[in-house]
Amino acid sequence: MNIQYDVGEFFDEMFEKDGSVRPHYQTFLQRLSELSEDAFHQKREAIDLAFLQQGITFTVYGDEQSTERIFPFDLIPRIIPASEWSHLSAGLEQRLVALNLFLKDVYSDQKIVKDGVVPADILNSSKHFRKELVGLKVPKDIYIHICGTDMIRDDNGDYLVLEDNGRCPSGVSYMLENRQAMKRAFPRFFSDAGVRSVLEYPRYLLNALKHIAPEGIDNPTVAVLTPGVYNSAYFEHCFLARQMGVEIVEGRDLVVNNDDRVYMRTTTGLKRVDVLYRRIDDDFIDPEVFRKDSLLGVPGLVRAYRKGNLGLANALGTGVADDKVMYCFVPDMIKYYLDQDPILPNVQTWLPYREDDLKYTLENTEKLVIKAANEAGGYGMLIGPHATKEEVEKFRVMVKEKPRDFIAQTPISLSRHPTFTKDGFDGRHIDLRPYIISGETTEIIPGGLTRVALRKGSLVVNSSQGGGSKDTWVLSTDS
pLDDT tens-digit profile of 182-225? 998 888 888 778 899 999 999 999 999 999 999 999 999 999 99
Cα 435 to Cα 100, 148, 201, 366: the distances in Å are: 15, 5, 9, 33
Residue 45 has pLDDT above 80, yes or no: yes
Number of CB atoms found within 10 A of residue 128's CB = 20
φ, ψ dihedrals at 133, nearest 5° = -100, 0
Average pLDDT over residues 418-428: 91
pLDDT digits (tens, 9 = 90+) for 425-453: 999 999 999 999 999 999 999 999 999 99
How would residue 233 be classed by pLDDT, with cut points 50, 70 and 90? confident
Cα 81 to Cα 159, 332, 420, 475: the distances in Å are: 14, 29, 22, 5
Average pLDDT over residues 128-148: 95
Residue 36 has pLDDT above 80, yes or no: yes
Distance CA 324, CA 352 (A): 12
Distance CA 245, CA 262 (A): 19
Average of per-residue pLDDT values in the chain? 92
DSSP 318-349: GGGGT-HHHHTTHHHHIIIII----SSPBPPE
pLDDT value at residue 458:
81
Q: What percent of the chain has a predicted confidence (pLDDT) above 70?
A: 96
DSSP H or E segment with residue 44: helix 37-54
| pTM: predicted TM-score of the whole model, two decimal places | 0.92
Residue 461 has pLDDT above 60, yes or no: yes
Average pLDDT over residues 315-326: 94
Distance CA 214, CA 220 (A): 8
pLDDT value at residue 378:
61
Q: How many residues does this entry show for the chain? A: 479
Distance CA 418, CA 193 (A): 18
Average pLDDT over residues 53-72: 64
pLDDT value at residue 4:
86
* Bond preceding residue 314 cis, omega within 30 of 0: yes
